[in-house]
Amino acid sequence: MTKKPISKASVDPFDSDSDSETKSNLRHSRTSSAPLNMKPNATPGSAAKNRYKNDFRDSGGLENQSVQELEGYAVYKAEETTKAVHGCLKIAEEIREDATNTLVMLNQQGEQITRTHQTAANIDRDLSMGEKILGSLGGIFSKTWKPKKTRAITGPLITRDDSFIRKGNKQEQMERLGLVGSPKGRSNPRQNNSEPSSALEKVEVEKNKQDDALSDLSNMLDQLKDMAHDMGSELDRQNNALDHLHDDVEELNHRVKGANQRARKLLAN
């Protein structure tokens, strides 16, 4: 008879039943410990935030959530509200920066109108001297010539609100000297002595941040209101100054034409 070769996979007769079961369990555990197809970014935190964003619509709604889930949801909503308030505060700061640049431009524009009007007043002084010379020319028997003046040249009107200039200069000087430490319009944030441990404490911290940001936003809106009032006052002043400048320029134009006619007549004779 031929002997059958003993297979390596045959069971050892000296092994006990418990050892066989242990080895079988070990093989099963190795097989079940194969790596799962999980996204590297799919952490429990991000998964929870995804549920918070859609208000648990995909998991049965708020009423079917555990207390722990609801606490995390409350903290998430508080943090999102804080971000939204800070976003509003940032927009208000950008608006205030634009308003500040507008005020500076209006100030420069007002100064330019004043300088232009002062130049017109200087032209009036020189033109008056020329008119006197033209009036004295023409001989003894010639008719005395006098310029036709319908109104006096008033020159620039000094109605500028000095506080409009001082306000801008003071703020600019403080910035240049580095006296403005914290961002404009923002208060110093509250300092927490210890890290919040419970959800209620975290929500309370976020509420404090929101209160500080809303207070800063309210102060900034008051500043924007004052700046808008300053803009309106400055525009009214400039409109009034432009009206007077227009009248003076029209008067000078009329007198220059009369002086040119007088000069041409003298040259013709």
DSSP string, 75-137: HHHHHHHHHHHHHHHHHHHHHHHHHHHHHHHHHHHHHHHHHHHHHHHHHHHHHHHHHHHHHH-
pLDDT at 193 exceeding the cut of 70? no
Inter-CA distances, 29 with 11, 22, 24, 32, Å: 20, 10, 9, 5
Q: pLDDT per residue over 5-32, tens digit each?
A: 444 444 444 444 545 544 444 444 433 3
> Do residues 263 and 136 make contact, with C-beta atoms less than 8 angstroms apart?
no
> What residue ranges in 19-88 does DSSP mark as E strands?
none
The C-alpha R_g of the chain, in whole angstroms, comes to 43
Nearest-angstrom CA–CA distance, 227 and 99: 7
Nearest-angstrom CA–CA distance, 63 and 61: 6
Nearest-angstrom CA–CA distance, 125 and 31: 106
Nearest-angstrom CA–CA distance, 129 and 139: 19
Q: How many CB atoms lie within 10 A of CB 13?
A: 5
pLDDT of residue 45: 63
Q: pLDDT per residue over 102-120, tens digit each?
A: 999 999 999 999 999 999 9
Nearest-angstrom CA–CA distance, 252 and 247: 9
Q: pLDDT per residue over 218-250, tens digit each?
A: 999 999 999 999 999 999 999 999 999 999 999
Q: pLDDT per residue over 243-260, tens digit each?
A: 999 999 999 999 999 999
> Do residues 98 and 222 make contact, with C-beta atoms less than 8 angstroms apart?
no
Q: Sign (positive/negative) of CA torsion 103, 109, 112, 117?
A: negative
* Residue 140 DSSP class: S
φ, ψ for residue 151 (rounded to 5)? -160, 160
pLDDT of residue 184: 52
Name the 3-class secondary structure at 68.
Answer: helix
Looking at the chain, the whole-number percentage of residues with pLDDT higher than 70 is 63
Nearest-angstrom CA–CA distance, 27 and 205: 52
pTM, whole model, 2 decimals?
A: 0.62
